[in-house]
Amino acid sequence: MNSDFIIYNTLTRTKEIFKPLVEGKVGLYVCGPTVYSDSHLGHARPNITFDLLFRYLTFLGYKVRYVRNITDVGHLEDEVEETGEDKISKKARLEQVEPMEVVQKYMNTFHHNMEQLNVLPPSIEPRASGHIIEQQLMIDSIVKNGFGYEANGSVYFDVEKYNQQYNYGKLSGRNLDDIKTNTRELDGQSEKKNSFDFALWKKASPEHIMRWPSKWSDGFPGWHLECSAMSTKYLGEQFDIHGGGMDLTFPHHECEIAQSTASLGHETVRYWMHNNMITIDGQKMARSLGNFITLQELFSGNHKLLKQAYSPMAIRFFILQAHYRSTIDFSNEALQASEKGLERLMNALKTLEELTTSEKSTIDISTPKEKCFAALNDDLNSPVAIAHLFDGVRMINSVKAGTEKISSTDLAELKSFYHSMVFDILGLKQEQTADSANNEILAGAVVLLIKLRNEAKANKDWATSDKIRNELNAIGVELKDTKEGVEWKLK
Partner RNA sequence: GGUCUCUUGGCCGAGUGGCUAGGCAGCGGUCUGCAAAACCGUGUACGGCGGUUCGAAUCCGCCAGAGACCUCCA
Determine contact, residues 50/28, Cβ cutoff 8 Å: yes
Determine contact, residues 367/389, Cβ cutoff 8 Å: no
Residue 368: CB partners within 8 Å, gap ≥ 6? 388, 389, 391, 392, 395
Under the criterion CB under 7 A, does residue 481 sit at the interface with RNA?
Answer: yes
Under the criterion CB under 7 A, does residue 200 sit at the interface with RNA?
Answer: no
CB of 398: closest distance to RNA in angstroms?
A: 5
CB of 253: closest distance to RNA in angstroms?
A: 10
- Calpha distance 144→359 (Å, rounded): 75
- Calpha distance 6→314 (Å, rounded): 27
Site residues for RNA, 144-173, by CB under 7 A, read 172-173
Q: Using CB under 7 A, count the residues that bind RNA.
A: 82
Among 85, 86, 152, 184, binds RNA (CB under 7 A): 184
CB of 198: closest distance to RNA in angstroms?
A: 7
Closer CB to RNA, 279 or 358, in the complex: 279
Under the criterion CB under 7 A, does residue 326 sit at the interface with RNA?
Answer: yes
Closer CB to RNA, 25 or 277, in the complex: 277
CB of 226: closest distance to RNA in angstroms?
A: 10
Stretch that binds RNA, among 146-154, 200-208, 420-428, 461-469 (CB under 7 A): 461-469
Among 4, 178, 218, 370, binds RNA (CB under 7 A): 178
Site residues for RNA, 65-104, by CB under 7 A, read 71, 75
Of 19, 106, 58, which Cα lies nearest the Cα of 424? 58
Closer CB to RNA, 124 or 176, in the complex: 176
CB of 460: closest distance to RNA in angstroms?
A: 8
Among 16, 140, 329, 413, binds RNA (CB under 7 A): 329
Stretch that binds RNA, among 36-44, 99-107, 232-240, 256-264 (CB under 7 A): 36-44
- Calpha distance 30→102 (Å, rounded): 22
Among 223, 272, 417, 418, binds RNA (CB under 7 A): 223
Site residues for RNA, 371-430, by CB under 7 A, read 381, 383-384, 386-388, 390-391, 393-394, 397-398, 400-401, 403
Among 168, 235, 465, 477, binds RNA (CB under 7 A): 465
Under the criterion CB under 7 A, does residue 482 sit at the interface with RNA?
Answer: yes
Under the criterion CB under 7 A, does residue 176 sit at the interface with RNA?
Answer: no
Site residues for RNA, 263-322, by CB under 7 A, read 275, 277-279, 282-286, 321-322
CB of 465: closest distance to RNA in angstroms?
A: 4
- Calpha distance 34→273 (Å, rounded): 19
Closer CB to RNA, 311 or 321, in the complex: 321
Among 65, 131, 252, 369, binds RNA (CB under 7 A): 252
CB of 229: closest distance to RNA in angstroms?
A: 15
Closer CB to RNA, 236 or 349, in the complex: 349
Q: Please state the length of the chain.
A: 491
Closer CB to RNA, 49 or 263, in the complex: 49
Residue 364: CB partners within 8 Å, gap ≥ 6? none
Site residues for RNA, 334-373, by CB under 7 A, read 334, 336-338, 340-341, 344, 347
CB of 359: closest distance to RNA in angstroms?
A: 21
The phi-psi region of residue 266 (left if phi > 0; otherwise alpha if psi is between -120 and 50; otherwise beta) is beta
Please report, to the nearest 10 degrees, the dihedral formed by the alpha carbons of residues 147, 223, 269, 162 taken in order.
-20
- Calpha distance 308→491 (Å, rounded): 14
Stretch that binds RNA, among 37-45, 296-304, 358-366, 414-422 (CB under 7 A): 37-45
